Amino acid sequence: MIQIKDLNFGYPRQEPLFNGLSVQLEAGSITGLLGKNGAGKTSLLKLLTGLLHPQSGEVSVLDHNPRKREVAMLNDVFFVPEEFYFPAISISDYVKAYAPFYPRFDNEMMGRILVEFELDGKSNLQKLSHGQKKKFLIAFALATRCRLLVLDEPTNGLDIPSKSLFRKILAGSLDENQLVVISTHQVKDVENLIDKIIILDNGKVIFQKTIEEISQKVSFISGNSPEVSGLIYSEAIPGGYRLMVPGGEEETSVDIELLFNAITNGKKIG
């Protein structure tokens, strides 16, 4: 679904951001795009959606070149940016104005998600809080049934109940033909949701594995001391340590934050 090969990109009068970046993603997964501040997560998402143009290299999304912004691609790609603008109209008017552009738009799903997010169709979009606006945009994105959903920091601005609701709704609204790419630095918010992790650092993909592959190779445990045989990485936490150790027979849930810190500190797994 997404193929990026030898991508080079940088902003004018700045150091190049991506040097020969390559990524391949297939449908049927929720991929977490992680990286430090300034690693280029948002820029990569914009390159995928055609909002930025690469200097060289190949980017293919749903067999289209995003740079051309062809309707056949735009019909099937929805980008939820971190910052967005809404006109001063009601939710129902917004749906009336924008939904006809998406051939598979599901009005029933839109209504259901709005109810779950406790949003009223008559509310004026500009009078909603930032979190409510974001919930509306996520609801709209899901209702478009686009094959590629690109979410940039989707949980920023959401309150705690909304974050768990977001996870529940996202997991329950997708099918196997869809791919969701979530860029976030709030990894706890997407734990138990994402099934593939990509970590960006210094303009390259330094880690790309599924949660299944990770949990087969490493375990995440708590302990009183970091001195454990085969220890890959450890971090002090209140009352002890979180430890990343080679995988045993028993699979543990993946501690994405610990994994991210381990990888960006140069640790290797598998």
Partner 1 sequence: METNNIFSFRRLVLLCKQSLILNRKMIVIALTGFVGVLMIAMFFFQAMSEFKNWQNRDSEVVFVSLFITLGILYSGLSFPAFRSKEKTMAYLMLPATSSEKFVFEILTRIIVFILLIPFIFWVVANIEGALVHNFVPELINYKFSFVETHTIKSAPLENEAWITFAIAQGILFVFIAPFTGASHFSKSPLLKTLFTLTMIVAGYFIFIYLTFKGLSLNEFDADKNHILFITNKNNALIAFAIAATILNLCLITISFFRLKEKEA
What single-letter DSSP state applies at residue 17?
Answer: S
Interaction pattern, residues 243-262, with partner 1; x per rule: CB under 8 A: --------------------
The residue range among 90-98, 108-116, 175-183, 204-212 that interacts with partner 1, by the rule CB under 8 A, is: 90-98
Q: Does 50 bind partner 1 (CB under 8 A)?
A: yes
Cβ within 8 Å of residue 81, ≥6 positions away = 42, 152
Q: Does 147 bind partner 1 (CB under 8 A)?
A: no
Backbone angles phi, psi at 165, to 5 degrees: -65, -40
Which residues lie across from 147 on neighbouring strands? none
Q: What is the DSSP string of 172-214?
A: HH--TT-EEEEE-S-HHHHTTT-SEEEEEETTEEEEEEEHHHH
Q: Does 38 bind partner 1 (CB under 8 A)?
A: no
CB of 116 to partner 1, least distance (A): 24
The residue type at 76: D
Q: How many CB atoms sit inside 10 A of residue 118's CB?
A: 11
Count how many residues are written for the chain: 270
| Residue from 7, 18, 33, 102 in contact with partner 1 (CB under 8 A) | 102
| Residue from 6, 26, 58, 70 in contact with partner 1 (CB under 8 A) | 70
Cβ distance to partner 1 smaller for residue 148 or 256: 148
Q: Does 128 bind partner 1 (CB under 8 A)?
A: no
Cβ distance to partner 1 smaller for residue 41 or 46: 46
**Among 81, 88, 85, 80, which Cα is nearest to 125's?**
88
Q: Does 74 bind partner 1 (CB under 8 A)?
A: yes
CB of 11 to partner 1, least distance (A): 10
CB of 46 to partner 1, least distance (A): 7
Q: Does 69 bind partner 1 (CB under 8 A)?
A: yes
Q: Does 130 bind partner 1 (CB under 8 A)?
A: no
Q: Does 122 bind partner 1 (CB under 8 A)?
A: no
Q: Is the dihedral of CA 75, 45, 187, 179 positive or negative?
A: positive
Q: Give me the residue label for tokens 């709030």.
A: 186
Say what angle helices 107-116 and 130-143 make with each other, to 10 degrees.
150
The residue range among 12-20, 82-90, 111-119, 232-240 that interacts with partner 1, by the rule CB under 8 A, is: 82-90
Cβ within 8 Å of residue 71, ≥6 positions away = none
| Residue from 100, 161, 238, 239 in contact with partner 1 (CB under 8 A) | 100
What single-letter DSSP state applies at residue 207?
Answer: E
| Residue from 9, 18, 78, 140 in contact with partner 1 (CB under 8 A) | 78
Contact 232, 201 (CB under 8 A): no
Q: Does 98 bind partner 1 (CB under 8 A)?
A: yes
What distance, in Å, lies between the first and last C-alpha atoms of the chain?
Answer: 26
Q: Which residues bind partner 1 (CB under 8 A)?
A: 46, 49-53, 68-72, 74-75, 77-79, 81, 83-85, 87, 89, 93, 96-98, 100-103
